[in-house]
A and B are shown apart, each in its own frame.
Chain A
Amino acid sequence: MGLDEGDETGMASLMRAALAGDESAYARFLGIAAVRVRAVARRKLGSNGSVAPEDIVQETLLAVHLKRHTWRKGEPILPWLMAIARYKMIDAFRRNGTLRTVDIDDLAEILPAPETQNEHTQRREIETALADLSEGQRRVVRAIGVEGKSIHETAGALDMNETAVRVAFHRGLSAIAAKLGRRT
């Protein structure tokens, strides 16, 4: 009706009429809301080509519709509308962020599995290194270094005393280090 329907007071009275069942007032309210939200969305999304401002406009209008009972008739309506628009914009950004990251499952065929391969190589290296040790050292190094047992457990399992286990472990590691060309 009036030319100033688009300002705070005008929109508030349109929404009041809408909530009471005035469909044409509601249509005008939503039209003005769309213009306002579109302006903000264009400005905020300017550099981001992957979210369409019109999607934000439509999602905001839908949210406004579903949540119109959360506007308190005595309260300003523009902050209410813009808070909803901001929420929907953040939501779209977040969703878009997850969409843009490539799902690793799609690449499973192409990509090698680096970690498993590393593990395999490492395991092979360890086994080669262990093969050169004496029987006693090999058992101790395997128990502690590969299976992760404690000195105490190893001593019990191999029926040795703990000092002997420590000595064998240390000598075994030194031998492996020497073979791999490192100094301890």
Chain B
Amino acid sequence: MKTEDLIASLASQARSRKASPMLWLAGLTLSAVLVAVLALVGTIGVRPDFGIAISSWRFDYKFVVTLALALSAFVVVRAGLYPESSARLPLWVLLAGPGLLLAGVIAELLSLPGGAYAMSAVGKNAMLCLTVIPALGIAPLVLLLAALRQGAPTRPGLAGMCAGLLAGGISATLYAANCTDDSPLFVATWYPIGIAGLAIAGGLLGRIVARW
């Protein structure tokens, strides 16, 4: 086909009715949160002493860490939607979650006696944590990958991985409302495993579904 003919045929369909990818991302992220909330409430629910737990810094700090992860991943995914910003993704913002978690771990190590470290890290809900975080994150990940398809990511694998981190941030935030292990040592030991699983799945799937 000659390039002039291609231009002529494309020009006849000039008008675009597609919504902006940012609108898709916002809508699908909200849907992802909603789906994950319904899944949590419909299955294991929030912990019975939620109202009392809120007054403990350890409980609240879990949300500081997981929300920091979710927000920073959202910023990167948003940049990944556009070709011109895909090449210079602000990946450094992803340090927010791990950085805050590290600060929490240091505070915990200073406030607990040495003998209590292992017990706090191992906790009681490790298996539940390893199951629930990936499980709650699957549907959000699918929705976020659908949002990436509406954009034009020139690094689909990396964008998919960040979508996985965002899905992980959402599911970890919700799981934190159920989990009775509040120590930053527990969070640092178990949460990253499930979240990393979602990030890897997002990266692999992104390379396939977000290409264009």
Contacts and interface: CB of A to CB of B under 8 A. Distances in A.
Contacts of A61: 3, 6-7, 10
The main secondary structure of chain B at its interface with chain A is loop
B154 to A, nearest CB: 4
The main secondary structure of chain A at its interface with chain B is helix
A115 B30 CA distance: 56
Contacts of B84: 75-76, 79-80, 82-83
B152 interface: yes
A25 B7 contact: no
B16 A19 contact: yes
Given A61-B6, A80-B82, A86-B154, A69 B21 contact: yes
A83 B87 contact: yes
B7 A70 contact: no
Contact of A23 (B11, B18, B152): B11
Given A21-B14, A62-B10, 13 more contacts: A18-B14, A19-B14, A23-B11, A27-B8, A66-B212, A67-B152, A69-B16, A69-B18, A69-B21, A76-B84, A79-B84, A86-B87, A87-B83
A94 to B, nearest CB: 11
Interface residues of A, number: 35
Interface string A56-86: 0110011101111110100110011011101
B1 interface: yes
A30 B10 contact: yes
Interface of A: 18-27, 30-31, 34, 54, 57-58, 61-63, 65-70, 72, 75-76, 79-80, 82-84, 86-87
Nearest to B18: A69
Interface string B177-212: 000000000000000000000000000000000001
Contacts, number: 81
B145 to A, nearest CB: 16
Contacts of A63: 152, 212
Contact of A87 (B7, B151, B154): B154
Nearest to A85: B83
B15 A30 contact: no
* 3 closest residue pairs by CB, A with B: A83-B83, A27-B11, A26-B14
B28 to A, nearest CB: 15
B56 interface: no
Contacts of A66: 212
A20 B13 CA distance: 11
Nearest to B151: A70
Contacts of A30: 7, 10-11
Contacts of B43: none
Contact of A84 (B1, B10, B152): B152
Contacts of B21: 69-70
